Amino acid sequence: MKLNFIFLLTVALTFWTSVLQAGAGDGLGLFLDFGQLKALNNDTETEYQTSKIGGVQYDYQFALGDSFSFSLFGTEFGGKGELPDNTKYEYYKAGILGAELRAWMGALFIGIHGGQYYLTWIESQSSYSGIKWSGGSGWGLGLEGESGWSLSWYSEKSEKIIFDDLPDQRVEGQRILLGYRWR
């Protein structure tokens, strides 16, 4: 986590006075997620993720002047996982439907968001645990230049997600997003 922050801070300082200066702008964004949203047991903190697969995020951003923006977003992440005492589920999907407020300082932004986090366990294409929802929040730091390219880091944490026949869980993790915004 410290390495991600140091990397983003270094990039931000390097490009702070360059031609990449941008600010809040309207437009659709599409991003690849190289981080992780992992499933955890809510009571014991046991991680159920056994390997990362990856994810995608889309959003639409609305500029609120030069220094702030508001966006609606959706993200989905897939991973391989293992539940104790239940070997029929091998994969899970976790995601967020939310809204974010960003403060801009040139190309650098700091954002906070909240929304509905979801989690489902998958046995096959036709068999899954059902999609369960809970609230949650996160924050992020990133760069987005005039060219539309963006690099950002986010920290996520949901509240307890209640399952009927599985242990109560939550979704949390660190995500690195690389993407493009059409302006």
Predicted model pTM: 0.85
Grade residue 175 by pLDDT with cuts at 50, 70 and 90: very high
Confidence check: pLDDT of 15 > 60: no
pLDDT value of residue 24: 78
- Average pLDDT on 6-35 reads 70
pLDDT value of residue 12: 58
Listed in sequence order, the residues at least 6 apart from 128 whose beta carbon sits closer than 8 Å to its beta carbon are: 89, 120, 121, 122
CA dihedral angle for residue 67, residue 64, residue 76, residue 162, rounded to 10 degrees: 100
Asked if 61 and 145 touch (Cβ cutoff 8 Å), the reply is no
Asked if 33 and 56 touch (Cβ cutoff 8 Å), the reply is yes
- Average pLDDT on 70-97 reads 93
Q: Which of 14-18, 43-47, 78-82, 175-179 has the lowest mean pLDDT?
A: 14-18
